Every structure is written in C-alpha cells, then in structure tokens.
Structure 1
Amino acid sequence: MITIQEALDLVLSQKQSYGIEEVLLTEAVGRFLAEDIFADRDAPPFDRVMMDGIAISLPDLHEPLSTNYTIQGTQAAGAPQMTLADTSHCLEVMTGAILPINADTIIPYEEIEIKDGKAHVHIEKVSKRFIHYQASDSKKGEKVLEKGKKINVADLGILSTVGKAKINVAKLPSAAIISTGDELVDVDQPPLPHQIRKSNVYSLWASLKQEGITAEMHHIIDDKDALRIKLGQLVRDFDILLLSGGVSKGKFDHIPEILNELGVQKLFHRIAQRPGKPFWFGVHKDYNTKIFAYPGNPVSTYVNHLFYFKQWLHSSLGKAWAFEIKELGEEIPGSPHLAKFISVRLSPTNGKVLPLNHNGSGDLFSLAQTDGFLLLPQREDSYQKGEKFQFIAIQ
C-alpha cells in the first residue's frame, strides 16, 4: 500500500489540459478561465452617485449647510452629465447617475424635504459622501480575473461589465461512469431480495455535472468477456473513466485484471486509508485515458472521488482545489496504520467539526447527515480537540 500523499502525487502527475474552447457568457459559470481578463475601462467609468437625493457643492466642511437649496433639475441615471450652477443650487440625483459637474456631495432624500422648488435640509453639517469615484474599483487595463479561476456567479457580473460576451475556457474532458456487479439494478426497477438499486453512478454523475461535464453511464455484468469488450471500447472513446466496484479482493472483482489486459498502466492499487483503501488508478498510454476505479461502498466511492478526482480535475483545468482547514471539536483515538477520512458535522455554534457515528463505508444514508470529511493522518497519538486538519466539504 502507498500513503495518501504518494497516491495524490501520482494522480496529480497525470493532470492534463484538454484544450481551450469559447463559450457564451451565459454558459460560463462553473468553467475554468483560459485567459486573463482585463478591465476595458475604468470601474466605475465616472464618479457615480450612490444614493437617491440631491447633489450640492460643499466648499468648506466646517461651514454649516444652507437651510435650503434651489432645485435646478434632475440628473437621472443614464442621462448625460449636467452642471451644477452654484453653491446655492442643487440637482436631484438618482442612484447610478453620473455626478454633476461642480457637485461633490450627496444628501439623501431621507435628510431633506422637497417643497416649493427647494430642498430643505434637516442636518447642519455633512461630509463629502455617497460618491463612488471613477477608477476606485479598477483602472482601465488592470487584470480583474486570472487565468485558471473557476468562474462563479459574481465573476459573471465582472465579465459582463468588461464586455466579455464570449469567454475562453478550459475544454472539459469526456467521461464515462461504469458500475459493475450482478447485484445492481436500475433505479426504476424493483430489486429482488438479493439485489440493490444503483446509487454510486448517480452521485458520480451529479458531481461531474457540477463541473460542467455530462457523463455517459454504463453497467457491465460480472463477466470477464463482457468487461473486456465493453471497457476496451470505453477506454478508446473517453478521456476519463470512473468505475465503481470490482477492485477489491473478491472472487468477482475482475477490474484490475481486465484493465491490465487492455494495456492500462496501473499507477497504484490500495492506499493506506479508511475508507476507500482498494482504490485503483491508472492510465492507458496509447489513448491517454485516465481510469479512476473506486471501491463499491458508497462512502468509499464518494471520499475518493472528492479527494483525488476533484483535485486532479481542478489542477488539469485551472487552479488546484484548496481545502478548508477545520478545528476538531473532540478527541479521537489515533490510527497508527491507516489515515482516516472521518465523517463529520459542523457545529452550528462555533464551526468546529464533530465526528458523526455511522455504520461504516456502506452506510449511504449517513451522507445525508454529513457536512464533510476530516482527513486525519496516520499516527499513534490521539487527535486532540482543538487540532486543525484538512476538511473536504460535501459537494
């Protein structure tokens, strides 16, 4: 067996670019930028009014305000810039409007009363305020988003602001998800007493969908010839294969043998971790297909997918996936032989992680109560309350 770090290093050694493609702005969320994004103009592009109210000229902060100002007109958002006549006049202004020439202070409507063509002020003194100054966010030509970043909803606003109707993003790999085993039936079929419905393939499919990848799902019975034929085809047709089951030491766990026959180079099989120890990873050198073959228990599959595959995918397409660091909320006995991914919940009061009791890696329903997994390294000594470890959040 190898350590978690050794396994992760081998997985990341196979990171790969799949090229670049251009997508519409509306299709960019969740994709990885393949270009740096620069501001095409100052942001904001003008001194911008931040509150509905009146704009005045305030020559001296120490002098009391006039009790009233003659309303000269209205500066609406989207209208050309107006000019304030003098310090005795004001212009009504709307949020988002360009600041009138000669104006330097906004007084909100809440602090004035409009009557007889004048704005009557309810306060005695005011600072120069409620103005979003030109280029205070970014200057023209400044980098605002960096290549490799995964585009989120806020980034979409920035991309639209700088006029990026189309964006260059990392092209996604094609993927197939394969379940094996005669005990599995489709979700819409009633299982016999000795059967169960497929679940892992749907979790993996949904996880890939979150990354923008629409995977094909396949099922292969526990038969060597069937496995050899179908896996041989899938290795040729897809960039990545995700398998669930068939990699342990059971009599019908044929996956490692068949992949070897198909010319897939094994990089490792079995990691000193719990759950998910039998994880198998390899690459077909001729087709450059990456194969992630997970053990069949649901928690084992999910942990390995989150920790290894997600890090590989993000490193391949953009920036590496950085895990949070969380504080352990109670002492846990040491684990000298295996590193542990423990199921945890986050305390609603202090955010510390608390171990979640469940029935092992086959307990699919425990994932509904799990906020994530805490990675505890191999060691003799107990893991102490207050220590901090990597936290892998449920996605």
Structure 2
Amino acid sequence: MIEFNKAYQLVLENTLELGVEKVPLMQSLNRVLAEEIRADRDFPPFDRATKDGIAVNFSALVHDDHVFHIEGVAAAGAPQQVLQHSENCVEVMTGAVQPKNTDTVIMYEHISITEKGAIINEKVTKGQNIHGQGSDESAGAVLLIKGTKITPAEIGVMATVGKSDILVKAHPKVCTIATGNELVEVNAVPLPHQIRKSNTITLEAALLTRGIPSTSLHLVDDKQAIFESLKSALKQNDVLLLSGGVSKGKFDFIPEVMESLGVEKVFHRVAQRPGKPFWFGVHKELKTVIFSFPGNPVSTFANFHVYFLPWLYTSWNFPLKTLVIQLAEAIRISPPLTRFIQVKTVAENGVIYARPVTENGSGDLISLSKSDGFICLGPREKSYAVGELVPFISTK
C-alpha cells in the first residue's frame, strides 16, 4: 500500500498524448484549445463612436455659442462619412465609424439641437467618446493561447476573428466498466439480492458534463469472460474506468486478468478512504491507461475526481488548479489514511465554508447528491481547525 501523494504523482506520470482534432466553432465549447488564436485585423478595426451624439472637429470649438450645422447621420454598419466643413458636425450612433475630418464625439445629453443646428452645453475634451482603431489589439496579436479552456467568452473572441473551425485537444476514447453478478440494468426490477447499475452510469454522466462520450461494459464474475472482454476493450480504448473487482474477494479477478493481458500494474492499494483498493495500470504497447476503482459508489465517484480528471487535464497540458476552502468545523484525521470527505458549501457572513455531509460509508450513493465536492485531508496528529484552508475538489 502506498501513500496518497505518491499514488497521485504516479498517475500524473502516466499520461497519454491524445492528439488534436478540428471541430466546428460551437462544438468547441468546454474543449481545450490546441492552437493560438490571433487577431485577423485591428480591434476595433476603425475609430469607433462610443456614444450617440455628434462628431465634430475639435478645432471648431472656439466660441461657446457656436452652432454646428448637421451635415448628416452616421449609423453603425454604414461606410465612413466625411465632414465637409470643419465648423459643422455629423450625428453619430454608437458603434458607427468615426466620420473623416472629426476627432471628438459629444453625447446627445450634452447638447441642444435647434432648427439651426447643435449647440454644446458641456465642457468638451478632444478625442472623447472615441474607441481608437487597434486600441484593444493590433492585427496579428495573440488573443488566446494553446491550452485555454473554451468558454462562451472564448467562443465570442473566435467568432470575432472569423474562426469557424477550431483545433482542440482530442477526447480520449473511454470505456466505463461495471463488474459483478449482482448488477442489473437501470430499467430492470432487481431481485432481493441484486442492485441496479449506478456507478458506471454516474461515471458516464460525469464524462458527459465535460463533453466526453463513452462506451460501457458489464463484466460478470467469470475469469475467462472477463479476459475476453478486457482484451477487446484494451485494444479499442485509450482509457478504461472500472468499478469493482479489485478488492480481496474470491471473485475480484481484475488484477490477475490485467496481468495476464500484459497490463503493467503501477500500484494497487492506496492509504486513503474511500478507495483503498484502487488499482492503476498501463498497457504500454497498446497505450491504454486503466483506472480500476473500488465498487462502492462514493469510492468510484471520489476517485474519478481525485485521480482521473487531473490525469486528463495533464494529458491535455491543461493547468491544474488547486482550490481551497475554509472548514466550518474541526476535523481530526488520524494516520495513516488520507481522507476524501464529502462536503456542502455554505455561506456565512460573506465567507464560503465546507461543512461535512453525513454519510453512511462509501456505499452511501444518496449522500453524493447532497454534497458539492470533497475536501482532501492528509493524516496528521493535530486536528484541522475551524476556518483552516484545505484542498477542495468540486463535483458540481
């Protein structure tokens, strides 16, 4: 049995190069960018009026009572107009191209318009209310770097520069695998000794929230059948996510079968709770990584978030972010086990705290729906105090 920190490091040392793929712009949401996005022209691409009002040549503001004759109206989306006489003005709308021979915009609220023209009622500063060409970014500037997670904001940036197809990090081919004769389909009526599949369904849903499709298998407690199914799954996938079959029971065949299939065991059993029997291995020839989690629902769910997601982000070269949260109550974690404790986030006096969720062991699937994530607490003699900052893994 190895310590949690060592197991975590070994997982991150066995990532895969997943490659890249090109997808349509709207299908890139929540993906990881695999190319630089550059400005295809200046931003903004022209001097742009930022207020509705009049555009003038500042040199004409000699007399306070000067009346500006209105030569025309410049609308957003229309070609640039030209001010013919510097003592006159052009009405402009927000977003319009600044008329040629003008250098200042005065908003309607600061002028009076009469039959003779526009009169300015407030102090004016040369160049006001104009968003200068290239003042945001110049043509060719890098707007988004590789490894950026694509959110709606990035979608907007890429649309602005005309990127209709985007190069992103490829998703791994993932198969979720349930083990055990006691499992039946979700739509079945289980016998007293049976339960419905939920662990792999939960894993599939967790993958889908990140846009990753997956296939699924159910392995019955027969060594030869497990061998044949896993042999095929190893060839067809980048990642296998198993639930169950790695403890010390008579029908826990997974470690033995993996060895017979040429999978190199990286570790088996970690000093943690939940998930002590966690088995992790790699088939180097096929370049397939295997996460075999214990079969209890909380164990599977916790270890997916603690190990698999950091492994995935590291494979994508996506930076790992460490979240911390304050404890709402003191907790003691005695050696030797690291604990993943389900918590609910609560706001008190403007501060977000983590409050442990009451659970009835690692088989308590219902408790998962009541929590917002896990806190990860290493063993130590001193208790973790109220208000202490601790690592937090969000599952929402």
- TM-score under structure 2 length normalisation: 0.91
Q: Whole-Å Cα distance in 1 between the matches of residues 305 and 60 of structure 2?
A: 60
Which AA in structure 1 matches 2:382? D
Counterpart position of 1:390: 391
Structure 2 CA distance for partners of 1:326 and 1:130, relative to 1, 3 Å: farther
Counterpart position of 1:340: 339
Counterpart position of 2:167: 168
Listed as ranges, the gaps of 5+ residues in structure 2 are none
Counterpart position of 1:125: 123
Counterparts of residues 15-164 of structure 1 (less than 5 Å): 15-59=15-59, 69-85=68-84, 88-112=87-111, 114=113, 116=115, 118-119=117-118, 123-127=121-125, 128-164=127-163
Runs of 4+ in 1 over 6 A off after TM superposition: none
Structure 2 CA distance for partners of 1:129 and 1:344, relative to 1, 3 Å: farther
Which AA in structure 2 matches 1:125? K
Structure 2 CA distance for partners of 1:288 and 1:21, relative to 1, 3 Å: same
Q: Whole-Å Cα distance in 2 between the matches of residues 222 and 117 of structure 1?
A: 93
Query: Is the CA contact (8 Å cut-off) linking 1:33 and 1:318 kept in structure 2?
Result: no
Structure 2 CA distance for partners of 1:132 and 1:372, relative to 1, 3 Å: farther
Counterpart position of 1:371: 372
Which AA in structure 2 matches 1:187? V
Counterpart position of 2:4: 4
Which AA in structure 1 matches 2:384? Y
Structure 2 CA distance for partners of 1:282 and 1:73, relative to 1, 3 Å: same
Listed as ranges, the gaps of 5+ residues in structure 1 are none
Query: Is the CA contact (8 Å cut-off) linking 1:170 and 1:317 kept in structure 2?
Result: yes
* Cα deviation, residue 168, structure 1: 1.8
- 1:82-111: per-residue Cα shift (whole Å, max 9, x none)? 233456533222222222224344344455
Counterpart position of 2:382: 381
Query: Is the CA contact (8 Å cut-off) linking 1:65 and 1:126 kept in structure 2?
Result: no
Q: Whole-Å Cα distance in 1 between the matches of residues 105 and 79 of structure 2?
A: 18
Counterpart position of 1:226: 225
Query: Is the CA contact (8 Å cut-off) linking 1:65 and 1:124 kept in structure 2?
Result: no
Query: Is the CA contact (8 Å cut-off) linking 1:64 and 1:124 kept in structure 2?
Result: no
Q: Paired residues, what number?
A: 393
Which AA in structure 1 matches 2:55? A
Which AA in structure 1 matches 2:366? F
Compute the RMSD of aligned alpha carbons.
2.3
Indicate the SS of the match to 2:255.
Answer: helix
Which AA in structure 2 matches 1:31? R
Q: Whole-Å Cα distance in 2 between the matches of residues 375 and 18 of structure 1?
A: 28
Q: Whole-Å Cα distance in 2 between the matches of residues 229 and 337 of structure 1?
A: 38
- Which is further off, 70-79 or 283-292? 70-79
Q: Whole-Å Cα distance in 1 between the matches of residues 362 and 387 of structure 2?
A: 26
* Cα deviation, residue 357, structure 1: 1.9
* Cα deviation, residue 266, structure 1: 0.7
- TM-score under structure 1 length normalisation: 0.92
* Cα deviation, residue 211, structure 1: 3.1
Percent of residue pairs identical: 48
Query: Is the CA contact (8 Å cut-off) linking 1:17 and 1:170 kept in structure 2?
Result: no
Structure 2 CA distance for partners of 1:112 and 1:291, relative to 1, 3 Å: same
Q: Whole-Å Cα distance in 2 between the matches of residues 103 and 375 of structure 1?
A: 62
Which AA in structure 1 matches 2:168? V
Query: Is the CA contact (8 Å cut-off) linking 2:60 and 2:87 kept in structure 1?
Result: no
Which AA in structure 1 matches 2:268? H
Q: Whole-Å Cα distance in 2 between the matches of residues 59 and 352 of structure 1?
A: 60
Q: Whole-Å Cα distance in 1 between the matches of residues 65 and 374 of structure 2?
A: 63
Query: Is the CA contact (8 Å cut-off) linking 1:24 and 1:165 kept in structure 2?
Result: yes
Query: Is the CA contact (8 Å cut-off) linking 2:60 and 2:86 kept in structure 1?
Result: no
Q: Whole-Å Cα distance in 2 between the matches of residues 54 and 322 of structure 1?
A: 49
* Cα deviation, residue 285, structure 1: 1.9
